[in-house]
Structure 1
Amino acid sequence: MSPPATSQILNPDLPVVSVAFDLEREQRAPHTHLRAQLLYSVEGVMRVMTALGTWMVPSSQAVWIPSMMEHQVIATEAISIRSIYVDPAWSSELPNDCCVIALSPLLRELILRAVRIGNDYPPEGPERRLMEVIMDELRQMRRAPFYLPMSGHPKVRKVIDALVEQPADPGKIEDWAKRVGSSSRTLSRLFVRETGMSFGAWRRRLRLMEAIERLGQGESVTRVALELGYQSSSAFTAMFRSELGVSPKRYSRQDRA
């Protein structure tokens, strides 16, 4: 499936253009847009991958993708996408890196309204003013902690790839060091240098992102906890609360709301 043609429109008189489409369980090919993009799933969890990392995006969040950044969207279930694209003439004050943002109720409704308006609005009039309100909201976007940094170092990447395949793996840094032919001290330093996170913090973030996806699909807290390697749901809940400030059950309720 090719990127929407609207993402390639360059016209400062159209600060924001929009598109709505559905994805089944699929991976879109890596691609770029001339415009920066805010990508939002009305229902369901998606992953967005770049060369620098992976972003997990539940329906309570949106992902900001700068113009010309190659990325790939992965849907592990059927999802319904609403997306807006910002003309380069209007995006200089917005982030130049990929990030997940907390989607305010106002911005969510503005996105849905933009989709209904379409992309043939006049440069003067209420439709254009609404697009400028969207720009005001984007300038106040708040980042959410759903970023998982990647690494090109062969030893670190070997650990990362194995953990992505099996997040519940209980191996300590010493165990992984033996597997990749390194000392634990060297591997620990490499993890911090390559990802900006310790091995333990990186694995917790991976498990958190996996948990968000599974909870979004309706799995129980106990099942998610055990399948991600936690000895009890209380230990999992403590991790979840320390990262996001709320319990898994409360987070799920908020996300559905």
Structure 2
Amino acid sequence: MPSTLISPSTAASADGPLIVAVVREGAEPRITERHCHGRGQLLGATQGLLSVDAGDSQWVVPATHAVWIPPGTAHGVRSHGPFCGWSVYVLASECVGLPEAPCILTVSGLLREVVLRTAGWGEGDWAPAQTRLAGVLLDEIRTLPRATLGLPMPRDARLRRIAQALSDRPDDERRLEEWAAWAGIAPRTLTRRFVQETGFSFTEWRQRVRLLRALERLAAGMPVTRVALELGYDNVSAFIALFRRTFGVTPGRYFAPHESL
């Protein structure tokens, strides 16, 4: 397991600086096992992708977005390729008014600049200007638009077993009835409860997990055609059309150069 970005005592502390911002780059992928701490955390990548498992949701997050994790929420993180990322740890008492559940936020240019400016600040006494800048960062977290890249996991143990299997093998072509038999649940119950517990139909959920895995592969430089075929699409054009409907751009344009941190 890699070393923590900040000391465990600082992450757990109920006092200290309002925020602790960290920017890190490494030659190796970063895998942080599921854990929790007393501070809230906003995390993102400066390039590439991060897979984040927080609460009951999974996300694959590009560098244009960040994940907010409230204090005490269990979460794990994995980078795809060498780790290039940042985190802001927020004192629990300052999280009032911030999102109460894990969510994805669209990163603004102002947020990027503030993170860069505050990274590496010491934990001693701050000048008034530093406190004001920390307040700007908290205001940005409160007002940044939320994105819908997430994939909520169902709570029912049988449905969760199906969802985990599809997350591991998104190219699995079994029909709904076959999945229901495999998990020991009636097909009609599976259909109804998937919508109730995730907000997606079974088909929509499976499409979404394929698209999130597609982001991982595309970020690693895999050609679009190969990505589509490995994820179970016989028609590459259909994959591209679904990708564009979901993310607003084609796979080839999704990772077009953007302003980095």
Q: Is the structural similarity TM-score above 0.5?
A: yes
The equivalent residue for 2:175 is 172
1:198 matched to 2:197? The reply is no
What is the correspondence of 1:56-95 to structure 2 with a 5 Å cutoff? 56-95=60-99
TM-score, structure 1 as length reference = 0.89
1:242 matched to 2:245? The reply is yes
1:16 matched to 2:19? The reply is yes
1:113 matched to 2:146? The reply is no
Aligned length: 255
Letter in 2 for 1:60: T
Letter in 1 for 2:48: G
Name structure 1 gaps, 5 residues minimum.
none
The equivalent residue for 1:213 is 216
Cα distance in 2 for residues equivalent to 1:256 and 1:139: 22
Cα distance in 2 for residues equivalent to 1:130 and 1:256: 21
1:45 matched to 2:45? The reply is no
Letter in 2 for 1:67: P
Cα distance in 2 for residues equivalent to 1:46 and 1:121: 33
Kept in 1, the 8 Å contact 2:54–2:69? The answer is no
Kept in 2, the 8 Å contact 1:42–1:80? The answer is yes
Equivalent position SS for 1:249: helix
Deviation at 1:121, TM superposition (A): 5.4
TM-score, structure 2 as length reference = 0.88
The equivalent residue for 2:234 is 231
Kept in 2, the 8 Å contact 1:58–1:255? The answer is no
Name structure 2 gaps, 5 residues minimum.
none
Residues 244 and 177 (structure 1), Cα distance of their counterparts in 2 relative to 1, 3 Å cut: same
Kept in 1, the 8 Å contact 2:43–2:88? The answer is yes
Letter in 2 for 1:40: G
Letter in 2 for 1:90: E
